[in-house]
Amino acid sequence: IPAVDFDKIRDDFPVLQQEMNGHPLVYLDNAASSQMPKKVADRIDHYHRYEHANVHRGIHTLSQKATDAYEEARWKVRDLINAENQHEIIYTTGTTDSLNLVVNSYGYKNLSEGDEIILTEMEHHANIVPWQMMAKETGAVIKVIPVTDSGDLDMEAYKALLNDRTKIVSVVHVSNALGTTNPVKEIAALAHEYDAVCVVDGAQAVPHKSIDVRDLDVDFYALSAHKMCGPTGFGILYGKKHLLDEMPPYRGGGDMIDKVSFEETTYNVVPFRFEAGTPPIAASIGFSAAIDYLSNIGMELIEEREYELVEYAVEKVSGIDGLRLIGKSDTRASVVSFVFDDIHASDIGTILDKRGIAVRTGHHCAQPILRRFEVPATTRASISFYNTKEDIDRLVDGIEYAKTFFE
């Protein structure tokens, strides 16, 4: 018997109680941003009304209280992803910011001309462009692991790319365009054989499964709060302490320093060295509440529930005549991406929207993988634990309707 009644869980989300264009909202754009339960919104509201003060600065009690609440997310994330210690948890503004931090701090310090960075063909632009910018300046070289027709990584090709010049292997854990879950434990172990560090973009993994960074033995792991029932503008970079300790700061300003004079500045310890300026305090506090919310349900139960819904969705949409799935991996999490040869994705998306169904259409900030599958855009439904089989049925009806509309 499940400890959680998933049929009632929708009541926690005020946004889902609305009508959109005259229909009850079906929200299937969770990979872009997941919805916020009332408890999280209330917690942020409470902070703004009664607890607001700047952190790490004030001698006064209100500031100390705000600091305590703000710092809590470090422990919560540590436990959520099983990091060894809370100093390995750096606050950022999201996955993009986390990856830029690794590139600009670790990357610039450790890579030079001819050194190699391995990415995959299914990366989000956030895990391509920062490396490319750095490679252009340093002369480092980017190599790309190809993707098979099923949407899985070609692991033999990966092994063939590794060599003594490989310094970085940076991969997405779950692809936001295909839904594929990559074998990051194996990828990291192989990278380590060549003394390369393994960076993981976990933006689409942490919301859907239980993550153990120590078991995976990855060196850096990035995530965003807004994809896991939390607020926008907040994210995390996990890094192994011995690596972070050797990394220079990436941004300068208040809070990241030890002593400042015009002659010389010394820096704060990790993680504060990487957190210049007044941080997103309310967002951190909201993220703590979001982690509490998810943990109360349990990530294993969330994974189980979503697996069932995703299986159902794949089975149902596969039955639609002319629909082609983009990404058919057995490891799929949350994302169901598809195309029709004769109907543009944005037309499908527009018709679904008129029926109250929110999906994403386009290239999903992952243009190289769409090019790999020779499509300019897909329609993407992305599922969360608060979705239902009725949501999927409404999606399928909507797609069937769109087809009749265009035929």
**Where do contacts with ligand PMP occur on this chain (CB under 6 A)?**
31, 94-96, 124, 126, 172, 176, 201, 203-204, 224, 365
Q: How far is the CB of 147 from ligand PMP (least distance, A)?
A: 14
d(CA 312, CA 387): 12
Q: How far is the CB of 126 from ligand PMP (least distance, A)?
A: 4
**Token pair recorded at residue 263:** 């002659």
d(CA 200, CA 253): 27
Question: Of 99 and 343, which CB lies nearer to ligand PMP in the complex structure?
Answer: 99
Query: Alpha helices of 146-255 — where are they, by DSSP H?
Result: 155-161, 184-193, 213-216, 241-245
Q: Give 122's Cβ-side CA count (13 Å radius).
A: 28
Under 8 Å between Cβ of 222 and 237 = yes
Q: Which candidate, 5, 2, 40, places its Cα nearest to that of 285?
A: 40
Q: How far is the CB of 80 from ligand PMP (least distance, A)?
A: 17
Question: Of 130 and 398, which CB lies nearer to ligand PMP in the complex structure?
Answer: 130
Question: Of 105 and 181, which CB lies nearer to ligand PMP in the complex structure?
Answer: 181
Cis peptide before 271 (omega within 30 of 0): yes
Q: For residues 87, 88, 91 and 97, what is the CA-based torsion angle, rounded to 10 degrees?
A: 150
DSSP E strand stretches across 149-213: 166-172, 197-201
User: Catalytic residue at 229?
Assistant: no
Q: How far is the CB of 174 from ligand PMP (least distance, A)?
A: 7
Question: Of 74 and 124, which CB lies nearer to ligand PMP in the complex structure?
Answer: 124
Under 8 Å between Cβ of 189 and 169 = no
Question: Of 177 and 351, which CB lies nearer to ligand PMP in the complex structure?
Answer: 177
Q: How far is the CB of 257 from ligand PMP (least distance, A)?
A: 26
Question: Of 81 and 343, which CB lies nearer to ligand PMP in the complex structure?
Answer: 81
Q: Could you tell me how far CA 69 lies from the centroid of its own chain? A: 24
Q: How far is the CB of 150 from ligand PMP (least distance, A)?
A: 19
Q: How far is the CB of 363 from ligand PMP (least distance, A)?
A: 11
Q: Give 330's Cβ-side CA count (13 Å radius).
A: 1
Residue tagged active-site, from 32, 129, 276, 365: 365
C-alpha distance from residue 23 to each of 13, 19, 347, 407 (Å) = 17, 5, 19, 24
Question: Of 80 and 402, which CB lies nearer to ligand PMP in the complex structure?
Answer: 80
Query: Alpha helices of 35-148 — where are they, by DSSP H?
Result: 38-46, 61-81, 95-101, 108-110, 129-138
Active site residues: 365
